[in-house]
Amino acid sequence: MTSAAPQAAGHGSHQPMSPPDEHDSPGVEIERKFLVGELPGDLGRYESDHIDQGYVAIGDDGVEVRLRRRGDRTLLTVKSGPGPVRVEEEMPIEERRFETLWPLTEGRRVIKTRYLVPLGSDLVVELDVYAGDLDGLLTAEIEFPSEQASAAFEPPGWLGPEITGDERYANQSLALRGPPPPSES
């Protein structure tokens, strides 16, 4: 990713967001996830999108089929279970298909605003501020171009404890069970 200044966007902006850089293996994501200790200052200056996400199916092994509306884009995603390296295939779908399938996600949904916060010259933090039943939960995910880059990453001070692979904080678990009680965090 080039080191351009972040685009200004207000809370709930409907500007299309640029996905993180592609990594070496298409269909595989290498990421780490953290709780957020404190929000970066002036969060409103970062590009953001409102996200409605619902789960059509979740396998016992964590494989999921989900629907997502991100700004004005509607997507169908198939993703393998939790971990630092996962298979993920995301496909755009027509609004009509999204609306037809959305009722199947009732009781398995997450609502959040995602902010893209540049970190250095080549990384972007996807900072999620949850709403609804998950109001107050703040998480951050960072995708890496390689496993070596992930292992070498030193998180900034505003990120809290690492929760990579912690199934309690997987969006599908949050959609089904809500946030872990504070004593378990």
Domains of the chain: 28-184 (2.40.320.10)
Task: Grade residue 10 by pLDDT with cuts at 50, 70 and 90.
Answer: very low
What pLDDT shows up at residue 19? 44
Whether the per-residue pLDDT at 13 is higher than 70: the answer is: no
What pLDDT shows up at residue 16? 40
Residue 7 CA from chain centroid, whole number:
19
Q: What is the pTM of this model?
A: 0.79
Whether the per-residue pLDDT at 52 is higher than 90: the answer is: yes
Q: Tell me, yes or no, if 115 is annotated catalytic.
A: no
Whether the per-residue pLDDT at 47 is higher than 60: the answer is: yes
Task: Grade residue 184 by pLDDT with cuts at 50, 70 and 90.
Answer: low
Which one is catalytic: 46, 55, 115, 169? 55
Q: Rounded distance, CA 185 to CA 168, Å? A: 9
Say which residues have a Cβ less than 8 Å from residue 125's Cβ, sequence separation at least 6.
Answer: 116, 117, 118, 119, 140, 141, 142, 159
